[in-house]
Structure 1
Amino acid sequence: MNSISHDASRPQPALGAGEDPNLKARALLPLHRSWAESRQVAQQVRPVVARSWQRAGDYRATVNPLDSGDLNERRQAHRELQLLLPLFKERLLATASDAQNQLVISDGAGYVLWVLGPFAVRRRSDGIGFVQGARWRENDVGTNGIGAAMAEKVPVQIFGPEHAREEQHSWVCTSAPIMGPGGDRLLGTITLSGSYRTAHPHTLSLLSAVLGEARGELARAEQSRLQRLVDSTQLPDGGYVLVDEQGTVAAQRGFVLAQQLSLPAALGQAPSWVPGLGVVNARQVPGGWILAPTASETLLELYAQPHPHAVIRVEQGSSEIALSHRHWQILRLLAQHPQGVEAEQLRDLWPSPASAITVRAEISRLRSRLGGLIGSRPYRLLVPARFVD
């Protein structure tokens, strides 16, 4: 099996400019047959395809599309994709049709929501189950453009026998992930697909350019939505954080926070722990929450088993936070030294003493998960802590 490296920053074209697609397909076919029989990936396989072949599940399973009612529900639930649909049609549909490709838009779970383009191409895709309502993840149909783009989070081109299923070997699918405004949430994918003879590396560049426009449109829409939340909310005089129902920060006073907070399920029932913010009282408003820090008593419990984790207890609730081995070591050291420790003591937790920059970076990552529990100069816990067997 080959050694697989991953350059996640680069789109992944299948052919070079001027490369003969027929010769390429013939060269790939024995590599696919060898993998299908042995599940061993040859060295000649492109890394992005090798990774996908290794991830592929039972790709021979039957594809059962959603019925029309469920499909319409999924379309209605994805307002961001509906917002972008006119842009994708305007920028891509004519070009795709001229190249005898179809335009396919799927959601973040891999369900195909729209298939647009030449009738002849759509009729061919109907024959392989590539239809509206079908789920097209790698776990469902093996290596394909949509599934690979979802997994890799970069534009990907899957050509001919690089597809896991033999009935897809006459196709090329160029797919790109559609990410949310914060860049960390997969909204779906956009795909141009057709005969492998239409494959060209410029298709990736085209999709990447259109996605740049889409990101700008999503950012503008998100900013407008959050501004409407701010304008419609009576904000308190003291320190606060206003978030929408998903935890996106719309406004804040007295804090410098990330754009997104992770909200606990029981928010509003009692003082709650919000990672990155601390213990808060939450008041629900139309479209979101106002979070106000509170001096509620807090206890930090540290558990080594069955895996390292911390439990933050407040008056009427608790939050469990999984810890990496390094974060567990840091918290254990801080709990053992209530008066605090200097960076030099923390450096010794690494196999080779870490630099001060490394220590600060790791403490910063830990603080982002634990809110205001760790003080500086010296590093120390700001709440009582105890070990639990």
Structure 2
Amino acid sequence: MALSPTDVTQLAAVDSARAARVLSDVRAATLAGQPAPVAPRPVIEQSWERMLRGGVDPDHDFRSGLLSREEVQRRRESTALRHVLPVLREGLLSVADVAHHIMVVADDEGRVLWREGSSAVLRKADGLGFELGADWRESVVGTNGVGTPAVVRRPVQVFASEHFQRSQTSWTCTGAPITDPRDGRLIGVVDVSGPLETMHPATLAWVDSVAKLAEARLRELHLTSLERLRAVAAPVLARMPGRAVVVDRDGWTAAVTGMPYANRVALPKSLSPGRRWLPPLGLCSVEPLAGGWLLRPADEPVPAGSTRIALDLTQPRRWSVTVSGGAGSWSHELSPRHAELLYLLALHRTGRSAAELAEDMFGDAGRTVTVRAEMSRVRRYLGAFLEHRPYRFREDAEVGVLLPDDPRELLPHSTAPAVVRGRLSAEV
């Protein structure tokens, strides 16, 4: 009787050896471009397709070297994962050790930062390169329980020959992403792994539930932190006239007075006390508080004839441009393409021709028709502040760009060559 992908998963719980043989045949046929006896599960099939498109070698491991102990420790101390490690240990380790599993916690780059559990399984993991500081991104080592959940942003179980690389096919991995509950940004992945015979379908729900507990703990810590900051801010705001907002170090609002509440204020990567321009607040007095900042928008009007343009690229898929001048202030949410164009014009204040923008965006100077069409749309709302021949911001405009803290988050959707170079140069 023919098996379905679901049948293979169920079979693995009672006869792991037979299920592994079936999946080995599926993998061999798929890589050879031949009809498979059973279709791979959709999440696995889509991952394999990414591997084939990306040129990952199914038979050889070409990952980069291990991180140094010093770098592993630095990443441990800087990641939010350190706050939820007790939750992960309590929820996973006692069962993992008995079931001959190990728990692995990796950061958002797929680097293994913690690895605990059965000592016998840890020794076997060493043979797979599943070590502290190892790189387990899907694009590097193929379909696996660390890299694949990070890509698809949901829990994934990878059993036996569902792994893309041959060296991992005696292994079973179940991983779940851990995201920042404030903004949905990926923080890392928690994974439970072990030899083939330790696999059980219920492991997927188990690992997922513990990952959600970890996210709930992060949410609780965030709210507690804001409450502490709010207590510090209350007496300060009570005796302060005018408008003010108190935010934490990441810009999340703890308290406001004299102005509408906003969930978050976009802060530059490095903020220091003094008078600073912060969209959409405008010119502000910035003062440090314990655990955050006191921001007091300036009440004086912007001098007539002056224009400030602030491009905010800090929030994933919530990019905006804010314009402030003698007539007041307004903001416009940007499409991905317009965010790219305005970022490039902010980089090149002397201007870019249509051909240069086409080269920047597409690597093809001939695609000027597309550039001109998009710039025509930009000019519908920003035309008073743009020049053309070449395209550029007006010389009398003060232009600022707020960039994300992590250079990799700069317009992450973008494949424009100039944007990719911007990410790389910011990392240096």
For 2:336 and 2:90, the matched residues in 1 are separated by: 50
Choose between structure 1 and 2: higher helix proportion: 2
1:138: Cα distance to partner?
0.9
1:42: Cα distance to partner?
9.9
For 1:226 and 1:167, the matched residues in 2 are separated by: 47
Q: For each residue in 1:177-201, what CA deviation from the matched residue of structure 2 results, as whole angstroms up to 9, or x when unmatched?
A: 1112315121211111012222222
Correspondence for 1:54: 49
Structure 1 segment 87-102 matched on structure 2, within 5 A: 87-102=87-102
1:218: Cα distance to partner?
1.6
Question: Is the contact between residue 47 and residue 143 of structure 2 (CA under 8 Å) also seen in structure 1?
Answer: yes
Q: For each residue in 1:303-360, what CA deviation from the matched residue of structure 2 results, as whole angstroms up to 9, or x when unmatched?
A: xxxxxx9864558xxxx988328989xxxxxxxxxxxxxxxxxxxxxxxxxxxxxxxx
**Amino acid of the residue matched to residue 20 of structure 2?**
A
Structure 1 segment 101-250 matched on structure 2, within 5 A: 101-233=101-233, 234-235=236-237, 236-250=240-254
**Amino acid of the residue matched to residue 279 of structure 1?**
G
Greater Cα shift, 101-110 or 246-255: 246-255
Q: For each residue in 1:217-240, what CA deviation from the matched residue of structure 2 results, as whole angstroms up to 9, or x when unmatched?
A: 222211222222233343344333
For 1:267 and 1:14, the matched residues in 2 are separated by: 55
SS of structure 2 residue aligned to 1:232? helix
SS of structure 2 residue aligned to 1:135? coil
SS of structure 2 residue aligned to 1:148? helix
For 1:219 and 1:311, the matched residues in 2 are separated by: 29
**Amino acid of the residue matched to residue 166 of structure 1?**
R
1:173: Cα distance to partner?
0.5
**Amino acid of the residue matched to residue 150 of structure 1?**
A
Query: Is 1:279 the equivalent of 2:282?
Result: yes
For 1:33 and 1:386, the matched residues in 2 are separated by: 59
For 2:209 and 2:8, the matched residues in 1 are separated by: 18
Which structure 2 residue ranges, 5 or more long, are not aligned? 1-5, 311-318, 326-330, 340-379, 389-428
**Amino acid of the residue matched to residue 388 of structure 1?**
E
SS of structure 2 residue aligned to 1:23? helix
Question: Is the contact between residue 26 and residue 38 of structure 2 (CA under 8 Å) also seen in structure 1?
Answer: no
For 2:98 and 2:336, the matched residues in 1 are separated by: 55
Query: Is 1:26 the equivalent of 2:21?
Result: yes
Q: 1:55 to 1:282 in 2, by over 3 A?
A: farther
For 1:39 and 1:182, the matched residues in 2 are separated by: 45
Correspondence for 1:377: none
For 1:151 and 1:44, the matched residues in 2 are separated by: 21
For 1:39 and 1:147, the matched residues in 2 are separated by: 26
Q: 1:112 to 1:300 in 2, by over 3 A?
A: same
SS of structure 1 residue aligned to 2:83? helix
1:104: Cα distance to partner?
0.8
SS of structure 1 residue aligned to 2:114? strand
Question: Is the contact between residue 174 and residue 192 of structure 1 (CA under 8 Å) also seen in structure 2?
Answer: yes
For 1:116 and 1:109, the matched residues in 2 are separated by: 19
SS of structure 2 residue aligned to 1:144? coil
Q: 1:36 to 1:61 in 2, by over 3 A?
A: farther
**Higher relative contact order (CA closer than 8 Å, sequence separation 6+):** 1
Question: Is the contact between residue 178 and residue 212 of structure 2 (CA under 8 Å) also seen in structure 1?
Answer: no
SS of structure 2 residue aligned to 1:97? helix
SS of structure 1 residue aligned to 2:245? strand
Q: 1:266 to 1:167 in 2, by over 3 A?
A: closer
Query: Is 1:296 the equivalent of 2:290?
Result: no
Scaled by the length of structure 2, the TM-score of the pair is 0.63
Q: 1:172 to 1:221 in 2, by over 3 A?
A: same
Q: For each residue in 1:128-149, what CA deviation from the matched residue of structure 2 results, as whole angstroms up to 9, or x when unmatched?
A: 1001111211122111111111
SS of structure 1 residue aligned to 2:184? coil
Correspondence for 1:388: 387
For 2:47 and 2:67, the matched residues in 1 are separated by: 25
Q: 1:69 to 1:299 in 2, by over 3 A?
A: same
Greater Cα shift, 261-270 or 105-114: 261-270
**Amino acid of the residue matched to residue 324 of structure 1?**
S
Q: 1:96 to 1:300 in 2, by over 3 A?
A: same
Scaled by the length of structure 1, the TM-score of the pair is 0.69
**Amino acid of the residue matched to residue 174 of structure 1?**
T
1:214: Cα distance to partner?
1.9
- One of 335, 340, 353 as aligned partner of 1:324: 335
1:53: Cα distance to partner?
2.0
Question: Is the contact between residue 271 and residue 296 of structure 1 (CA under 8 Å) also seen in structure 2?
Answer: no
Q: How many residues align?
A: 313
1:267: Cα distance to partner?
5.2
Which structure 1 residue ranges, 5 or more long, are not aligned? 1-11, 303-308, 329-379
For 2:247 and 2:114, the matched residues in 1 are separated by: 32
For 2:95 and 2:43, the matched residues in 1 are separated by: 26
**Amino acid of the residue matched to residue 46 of structure 2?**
R
State the Cα RMSD in Å: 3.7
Q: 1:196 to 1:136 in 2, by over 3 A?
A: same
Q: 1:312 to 1:224 in 2, by over 3 A?
A: closer
1:278: Cα distance to partner?
4.3
How many percent identity over aligned positions? 32
